């Protein structure tokens, strides 16, 4: 027997022993986060079953028989309805395919799974994996690398900053109010001081001195508020403290 005949016999024996004859080398066909049970005609998204049945699931199975190959519309019409292709059959095929794309969250303009080849048919473009047993969700959809991109880090840091600032009272408005008040009081003190000196009014000078002391206290309080504000921003922003660069 030739080498080609030996290979064909070996392939046939493997298919017969596994109980999955036909174009699929195994019972389960996985692509992206989905897993198809070809025997039971069921589609799963991780651990949840997708609501796809009847002609729709049969259409998906038929297209998956030839991944990365064009499956003709005429072939699909004959397979699904056992009729010769005609206009009504093509319309039914398009409707059925839309249900499949909806279940896969696929797009016609930017397909991830099923690509339309105009006037010919359809092609499954997502890489597929075969398994004799239903794989675990972690193996269907591999986890993302533990190292996040710099953009993700920046967005995460910004979220932490905004969250921390939202939980604190940011005293900018209070500082502005105090500064405005101190400015007006300062002008008033200067005017009264000059008038008191001219009139040589001791009581007036004492009063003006008290107002000046109060103004100084207000300015001091304003300085403390501004200092506290800067400290709040410094604590909220990651990477500004020496320990954040280690």
User: What is the pLDDT averaged over residues 145-157?
Assistant: 48
* pLDDT greater than 70 at residue 39: yes
- Residue 91 sits in a domain whose CATH number is 1.10.10.10
Distance (Å, whole) CA 219 – CA 213: 10
Provide the 10 A C-beta neighbour count for residue 53.
14
Distance (Å, whole) CA 62 – CA 43: 14
What residues contact 48, with CB distance under 8 A and at least 6 apart? none
What is the model's pLDDT at position 229? 60
In a 10 Å sphere around its CB, with 0-12 CB exposed, 13-18 middle and 19+ buried, how is residue 60 labelled?
buried
Structural domain including 236 reads 150-245
Q: Is 47 a member of any domain?
A: yes
Closest C-alpha to 178, from 231, 218, 235: 218
* pLDDT greater than 80 at residue 234: no
**Could you tell me which residue, 118 or 184, shows the higher pLDDT?**
118
Which residue, of 96, 111, 140, is where some domain finishes?
140
| Overall pTM > 0.85 | no
Average confidence score pLDDT of the chain: 74
Which residue, of 90, 121, 140, is where some domain finishes?
140
Secondary element (H or E) of residue 217: helix 202-236
* pLDDT greater than 60 at residue 11: no
Q: Is 7 a member of any domain?
A: no
- Of 28-32, 150-154, 156-160, 214-218, the range with the highest mean pLDDT is 28-32
What is the model's pLDDT at position 19? 43
Residue 229 tokens read as 């504000």
What residues contact 26, with CB distance under 8 A and at least 6 apart? 18, 20, 130, 131, 132
Q: Is 89 a member of any domain?
A: yes
The strand pairing partners of 1, in sequence order, are: none
Q: Are 135 and 200 in a shared domain?
A: no
87-146 pLDDT per residue, tens: 999 999 999 999 999 999 999 999 999 999 999 999 999 999 999 988 876 555 554 443
């Amino acid at each position: 027997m030739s080498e080609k005949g030996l290979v064909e016999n070996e392939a046939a024996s493997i298919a017969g022993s596994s109980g999955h004859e036909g174009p699929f080398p195994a019972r389960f066909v996985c692509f992206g986060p989905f897993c198809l049970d070809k025997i039971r005609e069921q589609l799963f998204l991780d651990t949840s079953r997708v609501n796809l049945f009847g002609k729709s699931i049969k259409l998906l199975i038929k297209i998956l028989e030839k991944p990365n190959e064009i499956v003709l519309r005429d072939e699909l019409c004959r397979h699904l309805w056992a009729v010769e292709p005609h206009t009504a059959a093509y319309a039914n095929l398009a409707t059925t395919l839309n249900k499949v794309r909806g279940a896969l969250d696929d797009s016609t303009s930017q397909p991830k799974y099923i690509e339309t080849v105009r006037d010919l048919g359809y092609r499954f473009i997502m890489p597929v994996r075969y398994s004799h047993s239903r794989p675990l969700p972690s193996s269907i959809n591999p986890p993302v690398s533990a190292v996040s991109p710099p953009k993700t880090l920046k967005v995460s840091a910004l979220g932490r900053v905004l969250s921390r600032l939202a939980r604190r009272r940011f005293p900018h408005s209070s500082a502005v109010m105090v500064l405005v008040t101190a400015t007006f009081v300062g002008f008033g003190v200067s005017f009264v001081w000059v008038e008191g000196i001219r009139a040589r009014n001791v009581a007036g000078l004492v009063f003006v001195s008290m107002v000046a002391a109060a103004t100084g206290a207000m300015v001091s309080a304003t300085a403390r508020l501004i200092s506290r504000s800067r400290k709040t921003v410094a604590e909220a922003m990651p990477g500004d403290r020496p320990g954040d660069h280690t």
